[in-house]
Structure 1
């Protein structure tokens, strides 16, 4: 019986902590570049798929954790158009997680980085909505 309780305790710890990625400062460089939203997952588990995106996000974060995010629109020649509006951002590491703090002249908000690697970015906003991103596949009619 003692082994059963130990097994259950370890299983609960794994489920609680094993599914989340620990983000460190070296992971932040993976955010740089272009990201296309794939889906949003609401707190009630409902999902919204984004099958066609007219704009994608471009991130540029320096080693000091300061940077920006900008919406860009892919063109048929493989280039991107932009309206030159950038959202300033800073990266914050806390005991609760790693956060992207955004600021424009109109608003401030934050998102928690849930997962980051070369091909996938997952963030959670202050309303507990999870956004899943992938690297976009460039297209061209050249």
Structure 2
């Protein structure tokens, strides 16, 4: 009985400590994000070691866009004209990113958002884990610059 009580207390602490995304957090979404892994519902997770593309978000007043950008070794990015409109929607206890293009509309739930980590879940229950990143800039001697 004591073990059950201890387990219940730990479970409540874990549930109570779950990070909730609030409107003030949305500004953290702005910038470059590199995908690290995808959690798939059937358990076959996919880890990304190297990424050719980053996601760039620019959100203001809960509206903006997301673009795919390709980092270059000199600190620049290759960018095309393709983008997705994004609207942030708060619904009950959840936050959603509603995307739209001329061809499609879809939503992802914003599961976690910190200064360094982004997790979104799509309608297929796949969780996409991103880390905040920036430009890659390698000097002539092969050292990474800041």
Give the structure-1-normalised TM-score.
0.87
**Residue in structure 2 matched with residue 42 of structure 1 by the alignment:** 40
Separation (CA, whole Å) in 2 of partners of 1:65 and 1:96: 17
Cα separation, partners in 2 of 1:4 and 1:52, compared to 1, 3 Å: closer
Runs (4+) of structure 1 moved beyond 6 Å?
Answer: 3-6
**Residue in structure 2 matched with residue 27 of structure 1 by the alignment:** 25
Q: Alpha-carbon deviation of 1:14?
A: 3.5
**SS of 1:14 mapped into structure 2:** helix
**Residue in structure 2 matched with residue 123 of structure 1 by the alignment:** 120
Q: Alpha-carbon deviation of 1:95?
A: 1.0
Aligned Cα root-mean-square deviation (Å): 1.9
**SS of 1:29 mapped into structure 2:** helix
Separation (CA, whole Å) in 1 of partners of 2:4 and 2:37: 38
Separation (CA, whole Å) in 1 of partners of 2:116 and 2:4: 39
| Aligned mate of 1:139, from 122, 129, 136 | 136
| Aligned mate of 1:105, from 97, 102, 108 | 102
Bigger CA drift: 113-122 or 44-53? 44-53
Deviations 1:46-67 (A, max 9, x none): 21001111110000000x2010
Residue 13, structure 1, aligned to residue 12, structure 2: yes
Gaps of 5+ in 1: none
Q: Alpha-carbon deviation of 1:17?
A: 4.6
